[in-house]
Chain A
Amino acid sequence: MSFRLDRRSLLASTAAMGATALLPGRALAADPLTVGFIYVGPKDDFGYNQAHAEGAAAVKAMAGVKVIEEENVPETVDVQSTMESMIQFDGATLLFPTSFGYFDPHILEVAPKYPDIRFQHAAGLWSADKHPMNVGSYFGYIGMGQFLNGITAGHATTSKKIGFVAAKPIPQVLLNINSFLLGARQVDPEITCQVIFTGEWSLAVKEAEATNALADQGCDVITCHVDGPKVVMETAAGRGAFVCGYHANQSPLAPEKYLTGAEWNWADVYTGMVQTVLDGGTIDNFVRGGLADGFVKMSPLGPAVSDAARAQFEATRAEIMKGGYSVIKGPLKDNAGNVIAAEGQAFAEDDIALESMDYLVEGVIGSTS
């Protein structure tokens, strides 16, 4: 779904990069490019923030680049100040405020004041008619990763019940839950997925209780979408359930029980974007990518994954790598009985409609409100 800039905006953006940015081989210039990364939580949380921090670490290794970071920045006026402080005091010209909640209103408030600075925001929905040209949004089709997680889960489950600990019923989370179940149903259409919402992105005790509640229900493969999956992984493995990772590689937490995991691959994405700027180019304002584009990757398969599971996993991954794969396709109903997709209808991974998902598919036990 990524598209090239039109000529006018390209001019605006290149002007915005400043004169030095136009020179090729900026890496050799005296002033390094200063890149700021802002995280909403601790950057070693085995999860969302760690995934971004690993990307930042890769950028740090590039020549001609200086990386500055700040963690635990709340989605309040704090992040506005942090962005401005990075620009004013550290001379940052490229910012990666990585939490979804930073976008509206905070980035939209600060960006117009600094037309020369580029704001790259994870997960936002940038649109040309509403948002400044020096703002870009990027994200990956990690739902595909949860679909592959689901395939390994479908092979591993004996109770035919799998579980999902989720933070909030928002489109990204719903897509992951649906993909996880639909992956498992590739193996056995009888499988159901119990979801429990914790209501918060990071709340250790509640995540542990939710995981125990899933195990009590007989769910024997568990995954999650919270900021730091460490607690869910450890608790689920402690209850004897298999686990599928999310955000980052959590296999060290439960080496025997870890099947695979849907990971961000921000290192490739960020080094690519920074290289574009170093070369004097402009990053697209709206960037999306999946497994094929190197935005998302899978953890190495764990020891508990059977040969049959491995074969189906690899075959499906190869299909996805061709691009345009559809997880959400007809005939499909939601779990209230409404038709989501009729026979023959399909939503490919890059279909923008998926980014406003508001349903749980048939077979998911839970509700969106």
Chain B
Amino acid sequence: MPRLEAVILPLAALIAGLAVFSLFLIGLGKSPLTFFALVYKAGFGTGFSWQNTLSRVAPLLFAGLCVALPARLGLVVIGGEGAIALGGLAAAVTGVWCGALPGALGLMLMASAAFCVGGAWIGTVGFLRIRRGVNETIASLLMSYIAIALMNHLVEGAFRDPASLNKPSTAPLPAALRVGDMPIGIEVHWGLGIGVLCCVLCWVLLDRTTIGFAARVAGDNIRAAQVQALPVGRLITGFTALGGAMAGLAGYFEVTAIHGAANASLVAGYGFTGILVAFLARHNPLAIIPVAILLAGFQASSGLIQRRMDLPDATILVMQGIVFVTLLLSETLYGRLRLFRPDRWEQRA
């Protein structure tokens, strides 16, 4: 019953992590019950809570995919933040250039620009890995710093709107080039819908196509893949580029749905939260969806916890850290619990 195991173990680990965190709270003289009641209230309890939670999900989905896709090939890419920044900038600049085009066409062009720039940026990481043997974790981190510097340089230089006085930004997008909310009764922009769609498509790619199968073989054992003449180089470049493209889309939605221009606010740490999302989802694109919603709910409750319990804003960080550690620790239990191995139940006696 590996499927059941894959659902129950993470849930058990999540509960164990929250239990450890509860002990932390009790140690500080705070009530865990109040804490979780507030998390529920602020993250999931009312229509507004859901709006608050879901409006934070989109960038986490895309940033999570940016980590999960290369991870299927055994690559740890941690530089999604930079691809988000450059993707957002590319979308904003494209939007300024095609302000006169019909909205739908302009939006497509903007999304394509973000997709391509993000893809090229992280794809370069994969390319450097196969061509030069440069470690992808380090390269993506360095390129992330470089991307953010480049974005700031261009936003405050060549692409700066002179009218953006105290918050240097690109020129504001016309209303036709702003993505609106989905028709679901609460104010959540289309990034959520497209993000969920991308997760599903990536899952299909990984689990239902020969390319995905080849990627998993290569991820398990690069040498075996090479022996079988799988195109490891192209797989690595392709999956890192696709991951980067996803991060680029995160930037696109930040620009077109939230900020209306590119500026330093694009660097908000989504890329790093994406690492957490992907690992918690065990790099399964479908699992990214609930994980991102859960994390977004925790983040949505941060403010209420600050105000009601007099706990610092870092409380949610501590909780995420503890949950992350217990979830990773639970990895050691896979395949070792008899509960999930009916064939071994009889051996107990």
- A interface vs B, CB < 8 Å? 68-78, 80-82, 84-86, 88-90, 100-101, 103-105, 123, 125, 168-172, 199, 355-356, 358, 369
List of 5 A-B pairs having minimum Cβ-Cβ separation, nearest first: A75-B265, A81-B52, A170-B166, A76-B268, A72-B313
Bound CA span A3–B259, Å: 30
Q: Is B323 an interface residue (CB 8 A)?
A: no
Q: Is B56 an interface residue (CB 8 A)?
A: yes
Known A78-B268, A105-B260; 8 more pairs at CB < 8 Å: A68-B307, A70-B303, A77-B56, A77-B258, A81-B55, A81-B300, A86-B303, A355-B165
Cβ contact within 8 Å between A171 and B303: no
For A82, the chain B residues whose CB sits under 8 A away are: 303
For B268, the chain A residues whose CB sits under 8 A away are: 74-76, 78
Bound CA span A70–B52, Å: 16
Cβ contact within 8 Å between A85 and B52: yes
* Contacts A/B (CB < 8 Å), 25 sampled: A68-B307, A70-B306, A70-B307, A72-B313, A74-B268, A75-B268, A76-B258, A76-B268, A77-B55, A84-B48, A84-B52, A85-B42, A85-B300, A86-B303, A86-B307, A90-B307, A101-B167, A103-B167, A105-B260, A168-B156, A170-B167, A171-B165, A199-B152, A199-B156, A356-B165
Docked complex: B40-93 residues within 8 A CB-CB of A: 41-42, 46, 48, 52, 55-56
For A80, the chain B residues whose CB sits under 8 A away are: 55
Q: Is B231 an interface residue (CB 8 A)?
A: no
Bound CA span A68–B304, Å: 10
Q: Is B118 an interface residue (CB 8 A)?
A: no
Q: How large is the interface on B (under 10, 10 to 19, 20 to 34, 35 or more residues)?
A: 20 to 34
Cβ contact within 8 Å between B313 and A88: no
For B306, the chain A residues whose CB sits under 8 A away are: 69-71
Q: Is B244 an interface residue (CB 8 A)?
A: no
**Closest A residue, CB atoms, query B46:** A88
**Closest A residue, CB atoms, query B38:** A89
For A75, the chain B residues whose CB sits under 8 A away are: 265, 268
**Closest A residue, CB atoms, query B259:** A105
For B55, the chain A residues whose CB sits under 8 A away are: 77, 80-81
Bound CA span A78–B46, Å: 18
Cβ contact within 8 Å between B258 and A105: yes
In angstroms, how far is the closest chain A Cβ from the Cβ of B36? Answer: 16
Partner of A88, one of B48, B157, B167, B260: B48
Docked complex: B153-210 residues within 8 A CB-CB of A: 156-157, 162, 165-168
Cβ contact within 8 Å between B313 and A70: yes
Bound CA span A81–B303, Å: 9
Cβ contact within 8 Å between B300 and A172: no
Partner of A170, one of B157, B168, B258, B313: B168
For B259, the chain A residues whose CB sits under 8 A away are: 105
Bound CA span A71–B311, Å: 11
Give the interface centre of A73, A84, A89 by most chain B CB atoms within 10 Å: A89
In angstroms, how far is the closest chain B Cβ from the Cβ of A25? Answer: 27
Docked complex: B295-312 residues within 8 A CB-CB of A: 299-300, 303-304, 306-307
**Closest B residue, CB atoms, query A83:** B303
Bound CA span A6–B347, Å: 86
For A78, the chain B residues whose CB sits under 8 A away are: 56, 268, 299
In angstroms, how far is the closest chain A Cβ from the Cβ of B165? Answer: 5
| Contacts known (A71-B313, A170-B167, A355-B165); A369 close to B156, Cβ less than 8 A | yes
Partner of B165, one of A72, A74, A88, A170: A170
Bound CA span A129–B284, Å: 50
**Closest B residue, CB atoms, query A67:** B307
**Closest B residue, CB atoms, query A87:** B48
Bound CA span A88–B49, Å: 10
Bound CA span A82–B299, Å: 11
In angstroms, how far is the closest chain B Cβ from the Cβ of A216? Answer: 23
In angstroms, how far is the closest chain A Cβ from the Cβ of B236? Answer: 32
Bound CA span A146–B57, Å: 43
Bound CA span A86–B41, Å: 13
Cβ contact within 8 Å between B303 and A85: yes
Bound CA span A237–B162, Å: 37
For B300, the chain A residues whose CB sits under 8 A away are: 81, 85
Partner of A123, one of B42, B166, B269, B307: B166
For A168, the chain B residues whose CB sits under 8 A away are: 156, 168
